[in-house]
Amino acid sequence: MGKFSIPKLGFLLLCCLAALTEATYVKYKDPKQPLGVRIKDLMRRMTLAEKIGQMTQIERTVATPDAMKNYFIGSVLSGGGSVPAQKATPETWIEMVNTMQKASLSTRLGIPMIYGIDAVHGHNNVYKATIFPHNIGLGVTRDPNLVKRIGEATALEVRATGIPYVFAPCIAVCRDPRWGRCYESYSEDHKIVQMMTEIITGLQGGLPVHSKKGVPFVAGKNKVAACAKHYVGDGGTTKGINENNTVISWNGLLGIHMPAYFNSIAKGVATIMTSYSSWNGKKMHANHDLVTDFLKNKLKFRGFVISDWQGLDRITSPPHANYSYSVEAGVGAGIDMVMVPYNFTEFIDDLTYQVKNNIIPMSRIDDAVKRILRVKFVMGLFENPMADNSLVNQLGSQAREAVRKSLVLLKNGESADKPLLPLPKKATKILVAGTHADNLGYQCGGWTITWQGLGGNDLTTGTTILQAVKNTVDSSTQVVYSENPDAGFVKSGEFSYAIVVVGEPPYAETYGDSLNLTISEPGPKTIYNVCGSVKCVVVVISGRPVVVQPFVSSVHALVAAWLPGTEGQGVADVLFGDYGFTGKLARTWFKTVDQLPMNVGDSHYDPLFPFGFGLTTKPTHQN
């Protein structure tokens, strides 16, 4: 008998193991199962608390392991400039994200959280990341392949810090440059904005051939989920006032502000963010017709709809005046994930009460959670929830090509046969002047390291325009820098020519709303002092067209450089003729602010420089 006991024991052990495996096998954890089966299997296991947790997105500063575990939090975000440490390394970011993720995975069902961040012109919160030109400059390039490559580079840098989700791109159609977010818009023309949705393909990867319309797609660990924002009409508000009311007919909304959403959905965009603004007096965060009936049902969008920062609070005026109403209106309108971001227990309690009391139907909660899980499954978050260090060396790819192609040459010499540009590299002595010539923060604009942006050169790594000029000119050329020289200094300096770099200070959102659109002082004075005494090229660093008409006649050459980002070398590349100017205005340049709003095709169209304008130069081969 003895010799049969070991095989028998082994057989029994195998039976037990098989039974155990069968007991722990769950379909939602099996990547071989179809997407629909995984979603259904996980949904039927979830309690109401677990479902509402998935709908809740909280700020990193309150995302403790206990909060993640106890409330089953589905998502965490970094607000603008919210970082684990000043000048944090990719490794520090990864450690923070993984700490939160471990807490999520330790819950009963182990549903991974998704971490989101604004990466609106590169991975802009992160020290040493590449800061690309803001969208207003990219629209000028009319180059969808370029923005696709920018999307690819951004995705790698975001993943390098352990983050799988970005609140980008902004596909607003800015119809009034007085809007403080105009630089986040590619153009006043929806056709250019539609073209630029190719950045989604760069961020998420190209759609598989037979993919279903509207189903989100993210191609693995080197890609990120994207977010088309802000749905819909954010760039059309009255007088460009941020978060205000867009007054336009249904056909106007469909014809101008909606088209880029058609393209984004066709490209498999994973998420869409609702706008703070209203359409004909109705807050977008509470607009069931547009969020549920049109976006989800008619356009067949299958990803999830996310609110903006405290977007539900702002359904009422003043914000948060009647929060339970805001929760009912926002979730009822079709918002799936709510960017709370701090007081998440209030949101969870209110929503739980409303579901339990049949104020919000369970079917609405199930719709939201299915959509959120769909994105998480599609991204491979269940298979690869933890960030790793394999991409940490990806920070800091080159943005020079984007800068070169985004510049618009508005004036070049007194006549076509006497151009000033390209500038000679070999000259006895040249002057570089202006507030923006040696200021990396001004060059990058808002949404850079902090929400509103910073002045100075200590925010991150990069090349200022002054440094780029010094790098480019002949070694025998003397470069003199004076931020705001007086006329006497310029006259007595015997300069061969001058480069004046002036513009707007950094700003974001409402802080950028402006009724006068002027170049910051002492910019205009610097232009007069310098250009009155020596041949000069004025480079304007701004988030939109600004008032230049008073001094166009007194400058010899004029360049719109927008907000070029960290790679100032791209500006020098074109000023000195290593590359030619190719950019064409994607925005109308007004004569006076009294003309606004004024867009191409308007009956009162009388611009200083029309939409599509841009002089060109040929590259030169200088010694």
For residue 538, list its beta bridge partners: 500, 558
Q: What is the pLDDT of residues 360-417, one digit of tens each?
A: 999 999 999 999 999 999 999 999 999 989 999 988 877 999 999 999 999 999 888 8
Residue 522 located in a structural domain: yes
> Does the predicted TM-score (pTM) go above 0.85?
yes
CATH number, domain at 530? Answer: 3.40.50.1700
pLDDT band at 621 (very low <50, low <70, confident <90, very high): confident
End-to-end CA distance of the chain: 97
pLDDT band at 1 (very low <50, low <70, confident <90, very high): very low
Tell me which residue of 618, 511, 506 sits closest to 242, measured CA to CA. Answer: 511
Instruction: Report the pLDDT averaged over residues 459-471.
Output: 97
Considering the domain architecture, whether residues 279 and 317 belong to the same structural domain is answered as yes
Amino acid at site 65: P
Contact at 8 Å (CB) between 541 and 502?
A: yes
- End of a domain among 348, 379, 410? 379
- End of a domain among 336, 351, 379? 379
Residue 229 located in a structural domain: yes
157 a catalytic residue: no
Instruction: Report the pLDDT averaged over residues 207-229.
Output: 95
For residue 77, list its beta bridge partners: 59, 116
176 a catalytic residue: no
Considering the domain architecture, whether residues 206 and 340 belong to the same structural domain is answered as yes
Tell me which residue of 183, 176, 192 sits closest to 136, measured CA to CA. Answer: 183
Considering the domain architecture, whether residues 494 and 568 belong to the same structural domain is answered as yes
Contact at 8 Å (CB) between 254 and 280?
A: no
Question: Alpha-carbon distance 123 to 489, whole Å?
Answer: 41
pLDDT band at 10 (very low <50, low <70, confident <90, very high): low
pLDDT at position 395: 83
Catalytic residue of the set 118, 143, 176, 509: 509
Catalytic residue of the set 176, 189, 308, 336: 308
Residue 622 located in a structural domain: no
Q: Three-state secondary structure along 300-335?
A: CCCCEEECCCCCCHHHCCCCCCCHHHHHHHHHHHCC
Contact at 8 Å (CB) between 343 and 305?
A: no
Residue 598 has pLDDT above 90, yes or no: yes
**What share of the chain in percent tops pLDDT 90?**
93
Residue 616 located in a structural domain: no
pLDDT at position 536: 98
Considering the domain architecture, whether residues 151 and 245 belong to the same structural domain is answered as yes
- End of a domain among 344, 379, 414? 379
Residue 101 located in a structural domain: yes
Q: How far is CA 196 from the centre of its chain?
A: 13
pLDDT band at 3 (very low <50, low <70, confident <90, very high): very low
Question: Alpha-carbon distance 120 to 543, whole Å?
Answer: 14
Q: What is the pLDDT of residues 442-453, one digit of tens each?
A: 999 999 999 999
Q: CA of 121: how far to CAs of 145, 228, 421, in Å?
A: 16, 14, 29
**Where are the alpha helices (H) located in 197-338, listed in sequence order?**
198-204, 250-252, 259-266, 288, 323-333
Considering the domain architecture, whether residues 374 and 425 belong to the same structural domain is answered as no
Residue 273 has pLDDT above 50, yes or no: yes
Considering the domain architecture, whether residues 418 and 525 belong to the same structural domain is answered as yes
Range of the domain at 54: 43-379
pLDDT at position 623: 47
Would you give the DSSP letter of residue 463?
Answer: B
Considering the domain architecture, whether residues 540 and 416 belong to the same structural domain is answered as yes
CATH number, domain at 73? Answer: 3.20.20.300
Considering the domain architecture, whether residues 338 and 200 belong to the same structural domain is answered as yes
Mean per-residue pLDDT over the chain, rounded:
95
- Edge-to-edge strand order for the sheet containing 282-283? 245-246, 278-279, 282-283
Residue 38 located in a structural domain: no
Q: Which two tokens stand for residue 59?
A: 């700020």
Instruction: Report the pLDDT averaged over residues 252-262.
Output: 98
Considering the domain architecture, whether residues 137 and 229 belong to the same structural domain is answered as yes
**What share of the chain in percent tops pLDDT 70?**
96
Q: What is the pLDDT of residues 334-345, one digit of tens each?
A: 999 999 999 999
Residue 442 located in a structural domain: yes
> How many structural domains does the chain have?
2
Residue 265 neighbours by CB under 8 Å, 6+ apart: 213, 214, 228, 299, 300, 301
Residue 4 has pLDDT above 50, yes or no: no
Q: What is the pLDDT of residues 135-152, one digit of tens each?
A: 999 999 999 999 999 999
Residue 6 has pLDDT above 60, yes or no: no
Residue 421 has pLDDT above 90, yes or no: yes
Residue 436 has pLDDT above 70, yes or no: yes
pLDDT band at 285 (very low <50, low <70, confident <90, very high): very high
Amino acid at site 301: F
Question: Alpha-carbon distance 234 to 261, whole Å?
Answer: 13
Considering the domain architecture, whether residues 301 and 449 belong to the same structural domain is answered as no
Contact at 8 Å (CB) between 226 and 263?
A: no
Q: What is the pLDDT of residues 18-70, one digit of tens each?
A: 544 455 899 999 999 999 999 999 999 999 999 999 999 999 999 999 999 99
Considering the domain architecture, whether residues 534 and 466 belong to the same structural domain is answered as yes
Residue with tokens 């920070």: 395
Q: Three-state secondary structure along 22-76?
A: HHHCCHHHCCCCCHHHHHHHHHHHCCHHHHHHHCEEEEHHHCCHHHHHHHCCCEE
pLDDT at position 12: 53
Residue 617 located in a structural domain: no
Considering the domain architecture, whether residues 358 and 320 belong to the same structural domain is answered as yes
pLDDT at position 622: 59
